[in-house]
Structure 1
Amino acid sequence: MQINRRFIVAIGQVPPPTDGLAYITSEYVKLLAEDHEVKLLNISPKVAKRSLAYHLSRTATVLLASIHLMLNAWRGNRACYMPCQSDFGLVYTIYLLALARLLGYPTYLHHHNFGYINERRRIMAVALRVAGPKVAHIFLCERMLEEFGEAYWKPKRSIVISNAAFVPPPPQGDQPLRSPGQPLKIGLLSNLNREKGLYLFLDLLRATRDHGLNVQGTLAGPLREQDDRSALDVAKEELDGRLSYAGPLYGADKIKYYESIDVFVFPTIYANEAQPTVLYEALAAGNAIIAYERGCIASQVGKHGLIIPQQEPFVPAAVAWLRNLEASRETMASRASIARDMTDIHIAEKAKARRAVSALLPFS
């Protein structure tokens, strides 16, 4: 397909600080810049702690972005791309959508959050009315699109682009999930807290010990709360060598972490979980997955692991699956086959993401 070159005003949060939304926004802007002229306007606040200074900083960045929208409104091939904010941040999204519509920008709104989908919110309904029917909506999975339509109304223009587009698989050798006689290695990399599944992971490791399974666990990621640190310390002492903590990991160290484990465990109870990048990173390294069913997670994992319904206890189902994995190790997919599937998904989604801005909306 021939790419229609456009001038894109991209308005969103990019690192630092790094989180899932900022990372995906940054990577999508880089991809768009391969075919289009992109003006990136970073609206990340300069103050980390939520306070008056935080909101003043955020307001200043949004006002600066609006100035650039006005300065480039004369361009015939203009377009506006922005991730949709959540909670109070929707106020900024509403303002920018209103201005982009007033200035005649073809606009792309990228959804990354299930918060306003799981629970219909008036402020989101206001944002949709302000944006108007011509806005193109980008969703992370078909379930997100369907449930968004049920909560509000089905957009006239929409496309599904998963975050797999922005997670390139690393080189991967063909090896089994584990060698005979060695412990099965499970891991969780995240912000380590109750919502992201820290305590369920610790309970799972205790249960595998109690059931006589040869399983070791490694946690990675920041621990910000003292209660969470204390829980980890108690578990390490109790589990006597079955549990280790690698700390926060980035870049090559994070890739090595995924390569060191066999099964990535993600027992998230975060209500607004959408499509965690860590699951695609784990699949790219050839890990099988055990996760709670939230947001788009079921379609992420597919056939490469176990999805546990939200209303069911996590630990018993996970223990049974790990026991079966030990018993039928020879029939399980190799790391390379999991990684190959992830590579195919990445290539297809990246191509879709690259085409989206040209395909969805005509030039104004």
Structure 2
Amino acid sequence: MSKASERLLVIAPIPGPKTGQSLLSDFMANFFSANFQTITISIAGPGTSLQMNSWKQRFLKGCRHFGAACKVFSTKRRHKTIVYLALDGGFGLVYAVFQTAVASILRIPIVYHHHSYSYLTKRSCMISLLCRISKRESLHLVHCHKMADKFTGLYGTGLKTFVLPASVMLASQTSGIAWPPLETTVNPAGRHRRYCRVGHMSNLMFDKGLDLVLETFEELRLRGAETSMLLAGPCFGKDEFLRVSEFCDQYSDSTEYLGPVYGKDKETFFRNIDVFLFPSTYVNESWGIVLSEAKTYGVPIVAIDQGCVAAAVGNVGGLVLKRDLCFAQLAADQIEAWMEDGWEKTQADVLEESVIESRDNQERLRALLIELREMLDVR
């Protein structure tokens, strides 16, 4: 069958609120468009997955999924088809099961892209149902080998997984698409050995480690280190906003809150920090794309081992702590060690690893293309 008769349908929350999931989904849609006849169907709801808690929001998103299913049906009648489905956690899995049932009836394979880790810490009845009714030739994209092992261990060793790190969206090149080259200069933020500018960027919420970030800064100040703090990202709730406001007032001489940052502002953020903190224990956290972004600027990381965070941080220039340890004290120990040694070598090591990961990710994208071609050939 000719390529003109093949279709890859992307069902994903794009365009939508700028989250790691939506940004990665947008990258994948562009990647597929460069290599297949692609139709993108937006299922973006009126808020982020963190905010999908009202029945009105769920109903509106359900309507979008119903419209997507209708499009799948009409496309299947005329073309050889594969569906790419970006999975939510929580209630969003109900929609995924619906899409899976439609695809199963039409005998269409699905490429599932898993963005949540919550259903890998304990078995989910929705994911179990999804795996039971999906076809065996379907493919599950996961962010790391740990995630793949957890997934097959909980839901069946016969399920086919493909490891595709979220950092793939930062690859300097992808098959068929020319992207801006990877940054190759070391972050110039460090002033001298006893100075450190700590950075944190995320949806600012307690589950994502906001308090631990602030406690680490205070620990460094108590030890006499010359330290400043740069915070970025939207405050998720009133309590978080009040905590950040009070903290900035208390340390007004050394703390700056930027709010949400994108594009050039995000680049400036990473260029102006020495170390990035990411102590998230958020149940859905699987990767944290900001970790990979920090590494492209040579910024070392201290994080908590949640989901695939250890894989994101890598083997050099970073520290990943178990969640039951005292994060603030151990993070301060590591930061003081980096300050004592000087930032140059650590930053260079982080940057070198990021360049290697970028090359590996390009190979993974090429391998994914081969997998998808094989799925279409057996249709």
TM-score normalised by structure 2 residue count: 0.89
SS of the residue corresponding to residue 224 of structure 2 reads: coil
Partner of 1:319: 332
Partner of 1:210: 222
Distance 1:341 1:259, change over 3 A: same
Mapping 1:341-360, distance limit 5 Å? 341-359=353-371
Partner of 1:309: 322
Higher mean alpha-carbon deviation, 76-85 vs 114-123, is at: 76-85
Distance 1:222 1:329, change over 3 A: same
Mapping 1:168-317, distance limit 5 Å? 168=171, 170-174=182-186, 178-180=190-192, 183-302=195-314, 303-317=316-330
Partner of 1:21: 21
Q: Give the Å deviation of 1:46.
A: 4.4
Q: Give the Å deviation of 1:279.
A: 0.6
Name the amino acid aligned to 1:238: Q
Residues of 1 paired with 2:235 and 2:161: CA distance?
Answer: 38
1:257-298 alpha-carbon deviations (Å, 9 max, x no partner): 011001110111212210111111111111100000110011
Sequence identity, in percent?
Answer: 22
Residues of 2 paired with 1:88 and 1:236: CA distance?
Answer: 36
Q: Give the Å deviation of 1:133.
A: 2.0
Distance 1:76 1:225, change over 3 A: closer
Name the amino acid aligned to 1:353: L
The yes-or-no answer on 1:99 pairing with 2:102 is yes
Residues of 2 paired with 1:84 and 1:153: CA distance?
Answer: 18
Q: Give the Å deviation of 1:71.
A: 1.0
Q: Give the Å deviation of 1:49.
A: 6.1
Name the amino acid aligned to 1:325: W
Partner of 1:32: 32
Tell me if the contact between 1:165 and 1:349 (Cα under 8 Å) persists in the aligned partners.
Answer: yes
SS of the residue corresponding to residue 11 of structure 1 reads: strand
Q: Give the Å deviation of 1:134.
A: 2.0
Tell me if the contact between 1:84 and 1:111 (Cα under 8 Å) persists in the aligned partners.
Answer: yes
| Greater RCO structure (CA 8 Å; 6+ sep) | 1
Q: Give the Å deviation of 1:76.
A: 5.3
Higher mean alpha-carbon deviation, 71-80 vs 158-167, is at: 71-80
SS of the residue corresponding to residue 206 of structure 2 reads: coil
Partner of 1:41: 41
Tell me if the contact between 1:220 and 1:245 (Cα under 8 Å) persists in the aligned partners.
Answer: yes
Distance 1:150 1:225, change over 3 A: same
Tell me if the contact between 2:279 and 2:304 (Cα under 8 Å) persists in the aligned partners.
Answer: yes
Q: Give the Å deviation of 1:195.
A: 1.0
Mapping 1:72-221, distance limit 5 Å? 72-75=75-78, 77-168=80-171, 170-174=182-186, 178-180=190-192, 183-221=195-233
1:62-114 alpha-carbon deviations (Å, 9 max, x no partner): 11111111111135532111122322211111111121122122221111111
Name the amino acid aligned to 2:183: P
Q: Give the Å deviation of 1:241.
A: 1.7
SS of the residue corresponding to residue 87 of structure 1 reads: coil
1:101-139 alpha-carbon deviations (Å, 9 max, x no partner): 221222211111111111111121111101132211111
Q: Give the Å deviation of 1:226.
A: 2.6
Name the amino acid aligned to 2:306: R
SS of the residue corresponding to residue 207 of structure 2 reads: coil
Name the amino acid aligned to 2:276: F
| Structure 1 unpaired stretches of 5+ | none
Residues of 1 paired with 2:46 and 2:329: CA distance?
Answer: 44
In the alignment of these two chains, the number of paired residues is 361
Distance 1:175 1:243, change over 3 A: closer
Distance 1:232 1:76, change over 3 A: closer
Distance 1:331 1:254, change over 3 A: closer
